[in-house]
Amino acid sequence: MPVLRPDTEMPGTGRFARSMGGVAQAFKRALVSQCHPTMLFALLLPFLIALVGALLLFWLFWTPLTDWLAAQASHWDFINRTDEWLLAMGLFSLKLYLVPLVAVSILLPLSGVLGLAIAAVFVMPLVLRHVSQREYAGLSRQGKLATTVSVWNAVWVSGAFVLGWLFTLPLWLVPPMALVLPIFWWTFAFSRMMRVDAIVEHASPAERKLILERNNGGFWIIGLICALLNLLPPAWIILPVFSALVYAHYGLDAVQRLRQERTIDVA
């Protein structure tokens, strides 16, 4: 007599509670893993890449970008009128602060997503080796073309993030989009970037597809939490590696549970 899988025994609310439990467990395990010397050392690579990327972007594009933004702002009646009103009140020039602020809002996230992509492609294998050796030693690696899949995923997610960020930037003028949109796009970046890399080495293509379908909500919740943490500048140093650890624990646990279910079905 076939044994029902755990997913089929639980209603929607039960599955959500189980998913949240898995997310909480992944964060707890990631905190422990992050304190290991190897993982502390791993923080340097994505942080340095993001820092160098930010310096290069600001050095190469700051002047042309701010000049272009200032020229564009001069054609907006709303900005011109607001600027004139503020100056007439003896306050400050809106353009003087708006243009640099928009430039920073464009260039800084580009360096951030670059650091996240570096973490996904180059640091995640180190994270997986660290986590799997200590907590998932019996989990066999059945992934195919892991490096190719990882690089392609990082490229398309980074491209989608950059385009989405730039095209929705004007919506920041509509309250409360200046808060909602950054959280949404960083949730997208963390979730889409890390969830594939977390399981690509261990899960077969068929397993990967099933795991992403079953645990889609959990992956997005982790991404949302990381996006909220990303609002705090000090977190930028640890988030690329810490998020990789969280996704690694959550993803490998999902692979392990899936194979245990199949073992029960066969029995």
DSSP for 30-46? HHHHHTSHHHHHHTHHH
Look at residue 11 and tell me if it is in a domain: no
Alpha-carbon 109 to chain mean position:
12
Q: What is the pTM of this model?
A: 0.84
Q: Are 118 and 225 contained in the same domain? A: no
Q: Are 129 and 151 contained in the same domain? A: no
pLDDT digits (tens, 9 = 90+) for 100-109: 888 888 888 9
Percentage of residues of the chain with pLDDT beyond 90 = 48
Look at residue 244 and tell me if it is in a domain: yes
Q: Are 73 and 104 contained in the same domain? A: yes
pLDDT digits (tens, 9 = 90+) for 57-89: 899 989 898 888 877 766 666 666 766 666 666
Q: Are 116 and 157 contained in the same domain? A: no
Q: Are 214 and 146 contained in the same domain? A: yes
Tally of residues, the chain: 267
Look at residue 80 and tell me if it is in a domain: yes
Domain termination residue (choose one: 135, 167, 190): 135
Query: How far is Cα 29 from Cα 147, in angstroms, rounded to an integer?
Result: 25
In degrees to the nearest 10, what's the CA dihedral of 106, 109, 114, 119?
Answer: 180
Number of domains in the chain: 2
Q: Which domain holds residue 162?
A: 140-262
pLDDT digits (tens, 9 = 90+) for 147-196: 899 999 999 999 999 999 999 988 887 889 989 999 999 999 999 999 99
Q: Are 110 and 35 contained in the same domain? A: yes
Q: Are 248 and 194 contained in the same domain? A: yes
Report pLDDT for 20.
82
